């Protein structure tokens, strides 16, 4: 297999994305061409191109001035994301259960989530969580849903980046998703959709509860 060459722009996108999702870059922090070029030692046109990618992923948004900033999600934004996300995931669960699909990739990713060390960084937990849900949706086999849902998950990761402290240990995160997967593979549609609905409702409460 030939090695894939990562461009400077792609490497910059990946690093800025990591810093946003890990909380190193805080909501509202400016993302200017000048500051990022100096910080990462790259040319301003490279930064400009990277910022265009980040904006398309909803990981950068226009500020009152001309520059971009790390998005600041309001409670209304979070509720709207779950308004869109919930029916999509419930429908994916319905298809998986009714067709008897084995979500093998989600099961594999749950194993990786369970193997995260206790000191795993928050960005690692967010990535593991996102990968699991992407795999579940992918298992439903809808090409159009697979185009729509990943873009939604980029914004969801911004939400999850705010969940610091809600899962004291990666094992807690894994256990919650294990219960969800067990319900889905049980073949009981009502149980599976109920568990998914409660899973998403808990996440929404964690994101919108004061403090």
- The string of pLDDT tens digits covering residues 129-160 is 999 999 999 999 999 999 999 888 888 888 87
User: With 60 as the cut, is the pLDDT of residue 1 above it?
Assistant: no
pLDDT for res 126: 83
Q: How far apart are CA 202 and CA 3, in angstroms?
A: 41
Six-digit token string for 191: 């149980």
Mean pLDDT is highest, among 64-68, 98-102, 206-210, for 98-102
Contact 13, 53 (CB under 8 A): yes
pLDDT for res 168: 63
- The string of pLDDT tens digits covering residues 118-133 is 888 777 888 899 999 9
pLDDT category of residue 39 using cuts at 50, 70 and 90 = very high
- What is the mean predicted confidence (pLDDT) over 156-184? 82
User: With 60 as the cut, is the pLDDT of residue 3 above it?
Assistant: no
Cα 89 off chain centre by: 14
Question: What class does CATH assign to 75-208?
Answer: mainly alpha
Which of the residue ranges 65-69, 81-85, 173-177 would you say has the lowest mean pLDDT?
65-69
Contact 18, 157 (CB under 8 A): no
List the chain domain ranges: 8-69, 75-208
Q: How far apart are CA 71 and CA 26, in angstroms?
A: 9
User: With 70 as the cut, is the pLDDT of residue 166 above it?
Assistant: no
pLDDT for res 167: 62
- Tell me which residue has tokens 């795999």: 135
User: With 60 as the cut, is the pLDDT of residue 4 above it?
Assistant: no
Contact 40, 50 (CB under 8 A): no
Q: Comparing 36 with 169, which gets the higher pLDDT?
A: 36
CATH topology of domain 8-69: Arc Repressor Mutant, subunit A (1.10.10)
């Amino acid at each position: 297999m030939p090695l894939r060459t990562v461009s400077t722009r792609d490497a910059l996108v990946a690093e800025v994305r990591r810093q946003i999702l890990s909380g190193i870059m805080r909501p509202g922090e400016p993302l200017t061409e000048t500051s990022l070029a100096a910080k990462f030692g790259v040319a301003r046109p490279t930064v400009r191109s990277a910022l265009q990618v980040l904006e398309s992923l909803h990981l950068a948004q226009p500020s009152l001035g001309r520059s971009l900033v790390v998005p600041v999600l309001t409670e209304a934004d979070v509720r709207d994301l779950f308004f869109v996300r919930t029916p999509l995931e419930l429908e994916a669960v319905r298809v998986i259960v009714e067709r008897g699909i084995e979500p093998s990739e989600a099961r594999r990713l749950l194993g990786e989530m369970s193997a995260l060390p206790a000191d795993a960084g928050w960005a690692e937990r967010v990535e593991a969580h996102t990968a699991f849900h992407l795999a579940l949706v992918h298992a439903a086999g809808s090409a159009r849903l697979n185009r729509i849902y990943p873009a939604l998950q980029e914004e969801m990761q911004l939400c999850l980046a705010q969940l610091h402290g809600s899962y004291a240990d990666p094992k807690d995160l894994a256990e919650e998703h294990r219960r969800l997967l067990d319900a889905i593979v049980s073949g009981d549609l009502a149980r599976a959709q109920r568990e998914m609905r409660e899973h998403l409702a808990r996440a929404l409460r964690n994101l919108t509860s004061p403090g």
